Amino acid sequence: MHYRILLVFLAAGVLSAQRSSPDNLDFLHGLSEYEHVQDMLPAYMQARAQKLVEVRKGSLDVSNAEAVARRRAYVREHMLRALGGLPERTPLNARVTGTLDRDGYRIEKIIFESQPHFYVTANLYLPKNGQPPYPAILYPLGHEPGAKAYPIWQQNLATLARKGYVALTWDPLGQGERIQIYDEDLRDSKLRASTTEHTELGIQCLLTGQHVARYTIWDGIRALDYLLSRKEVDPTRVAATGNSGGGTHTTYLSALDDRIRVAAPSCYITSWHRMLETIGPQDAEQVFPNWLRDGLDYPDFLYAFAPKPFLMLTAIRDFFPIDGARETFREARRVWNVLGAAEKLDMVEADDGHGYSQPRRLAGYNWFGRWLKGAEDHAPEQEITPETAQTLDCTPTGQVATSLGGETVFTMNQKRALQLREARPKPASGAELAAYQQRIRRAAEQRSGLERPSGPAQVTPYGTIHKSGYRIEKLTYESEPGILIPALLYLPEGGAARKPAVLVADGRGKSASAADQEQLARGGFVVLSVDLRGMGETRSRLEVNASDFVRYFGDYEDGMTAILMGRTLAGMRARDILRGLDVLAGRPEVDPQRIGGLGRQAAAVPLLYAAALDRRLRSIGLENMLLSYDAVVNNRIHRQVFENIVPGALEDYDLPDLVAAMAPRAVWLNDLTAPAGTPASAGEIQSGYAEAVKAFGFAGAPDHLRMEVRRGRDEDAASYYRSLYR
pLDDT tens-digit map of 696-715 = 999 999 999 999 988 766 67
pLDDT for res 547 = 64
Would 566 be classed as within a structural domain?
A: yes
Q: Which residues contact 28 (CB under 8 A, 6 or more apart)?
A: 20, 34, 37, 476, 486, 537, 538
Q: Which residues contact 506 (CB under 8 A, 6 or more apart)?
A: 512, 513, 529, 535, 536, 599, 600, 601, 603
pLDDT for res 13 = 35
pLDDT for res 230 = 98
pLDDT for res 5 = 27
Based on the fold, state whether residues 141 and 18 are members of the same structural domain. Answer: no
Residue 581 vs residues 63, 507, 664: alpha-carbon distances, Å: 49, 18, 20
pLDDT for res 6 = 30
pLDDT band at residue 716, thresholds of 50, 70 and 90?
A: confident
The span from the first CA to the last CA of the chain, in angstroms, equals 43
The boundaries of the domain holding residue 583 are: 5-35+437-725
Label the pairing between strands 105-115 and 118-127: antiparallel
pLDDT tens-digit map of 474-506 = 999 999 999 999 999 999 999 899 999 999 999
Look up residue 601 and give its DSSP letter: G
**Mean pLDDT value of segment 208-236:** 98
The mean pLDDT value of the chain amounts to 93
Would 102 be classed as within a structural domain?
A: yes
Residue 99 vs residues 122, 163, 227, 403, 411: alpha-carbon distances, Å: 12, 20, 16, 19, 31
Question: Residue 20: pLDDT above 60?
Answer: no
What is the Cα–Cα distance from 113 to 706, expressed in whole angstroms? 48
What is the Cα–Cα distance from 191 to 136, expressed in whole angstroms? 35
**Mean pLDDT value of segment 200-226:** 98
pLDDT for res 32 = 61
Query: Pick from 315, 323, 373, 376: which is nearest to 142 by CA?
Result: 315
Provide the CB-side half-sphere exposure for 198 (13 A, CA).
21
Bridge partners, residue 98, by sequence: 109
State the CATH number of the domain containing residue 535. 3.40.50.1820
Element (H, E) at 483: strand 483-492
Bridge partners, residue 499, by sequence: 590
Based on the fold, state whether residues 127 and 81 are members of the same structural domain. Answer: yes
**Mean pLDDT value of segment 119-148:** 96
pLDDT tens-digit map of 292-350 = 999 999 999 999 999 999 999 999 999 999 999 999 999 999 999 999 999 999 999 99
pLDDT for res 220 = 98
What is the Cα–Cα distance from 356 to 311, expressed in whole angstroms? 14
Question: Residue 3: pLDDT above 60?
Answer: no
Would 431 be classed as within a structural domain?
A: no
On whether the CB atoms of residues 173 and 216 are closer than 8 A, the answer is: yes
Q: 387, 417, 447: which is the final residue of a domain?
A: 417
pLDDT for res 542 = 72
pLDDT for res 36 = 79
Based on the fold, state whether residues 23 and 147 are members of the same structural domain. Answer: no
What is the Cα–Cα distance from 697 to 700, expressed in whole angstroms? 5
Least confident of 22-26, 140-144, 365-369: 22-26
What is the Cα–Cα distance from 624 to 450, expressed in whole angstroms? 23
Q: Which comes out higher in pLDDT, residue 136 or 496?
A: 136
**Mean pLDDT value of segment 201-230:** 98
SS3 annotation, 220-274 = HHHHHHHHHHCCCEEEEEEEEEEECHHHHHHHHHHHHCCCCCEEEEECCCCCHHH
Based on the fold, state whether residues 307 and 447 are members of the same structural domain. Answer: no
On whether the CB atoms of residues 226 and 214 are closer than 8 A, the answer is: no
pLDDT for res 652 = 98
CA torsion 66-72-78-82 (nearest 10°) is -170
pLDDT tens-digit map of 25-53 = 888 876 666 667 889 999 999 999 999 99
Based on the fold, state whether residues 225 and 298 are members of the same structural domain. Answer: yes
On whether the CB atoms of residues 296 and 57 are closer than 8 A, the answer is: no
Q: 362, 386, 417: which is the final residue of a domain?
A: 417
What is the Cα–Cα distance from 534 to 446, expressed in whole angstroms? 22
What is the Cα–Cα distance from 479 to 158, expressed in whole angstroms? 58
Based on the fold, state whether residues 441 and 398 are members of the same structural domain. Answer: no
What is the Cα–Cα distance from 621 to 460, expressed in whole angstroms? 28
pLDDT tens-digit map of 283-292 = 999 999 999 9
Based on the fold, state whether residues 485 and 368 are members of the same structural domain. Answer: no
Would 432 be classed as within a structural domain?
A: no
What is the Cα–Cα distance from 564 to 547, expressed in whole angstroms? 22
Q: 389, 417, 445: which is the final residue of a domain?
A: 417
Query: Pick from 374, 88, 373: which is nearest to 225 by CA?
Result: 88
pLDDT for res 71 = 98
Q: How many CB atoms lie within 10 A of CB 338?
A: 17
What is the Cα–Cα distance from 314 to 326, expressed in whole angstroms? 9
Domain count, the chain: 2
Note the pTM of the prediction, 2 decimals. Answer: 0.94
Would 71 be classed as within a structural domain?
A: yes
Based on the fold, state whether residues 487 and 361 are members of the same structural domain. Answer: no
Would 50 be classed as within a structural domain?
A: no
Would 43 be classed as within a structural domain?
A: no
Q: Which comes out higher in pLDDT, residue 648 or 14?
A: 648
Question: Residue 627: pLDDT above 60?
Answer: yes
SS3 annotation, 374-435 = CCCCCCCCCCCCCCCHHHHCCCCCCCHHHHCCCCCHHHHHHHHHHHHHHHCCCCCCHHHHHH
SS3 annotation, 562-600 = HHHCCCCHHHHHHHHHHHHHHHHHCCCCEEEEEEEEEEE
**What is the share, in percent, of the chain residues with pLDDT greater than 70?**
95
Query: Pick from 466, 437, 462, 441: which is nearest to 452 by CA?
Result: 441
Burial of 531 (0-12, 13-18, 19+ CB in 10 A): buried
Question: Residue 11: pLDDT above 80?
Answer: no
Residue type, 495: G
Question: Residue 170: pLDDT above 70?
Answer: yes
Burial of 565 (0-12, 13-18, 19+ CB in 10 A): buried
pLDDT for res 405 = 97
Cα 26 from chain centroid (whole Å): 30
Based on the fold, state whether residues 404 and 455 are members of the same structural domain. Answer: no
Based on the fold, state whether residues 601 and 644 are members of the same structural domain. Answer: yes
Based on the fold, state whether residues 117 and 31 are members of the same structural domain. Answer: no
Would 58 be classed as within a structural domain?
A: no
Helix, strand, or coil (residue 13): helix
Based on the fold, state whether residues 345 and 406 are members of the same structural domain. Answer: yes
Query: Pick from 168, 175, 179: which is nearest to 112 by CA?
Result: 168
pLDDT for res 543 = 56
**Mean pLDDT value of segment 525-545:** 87
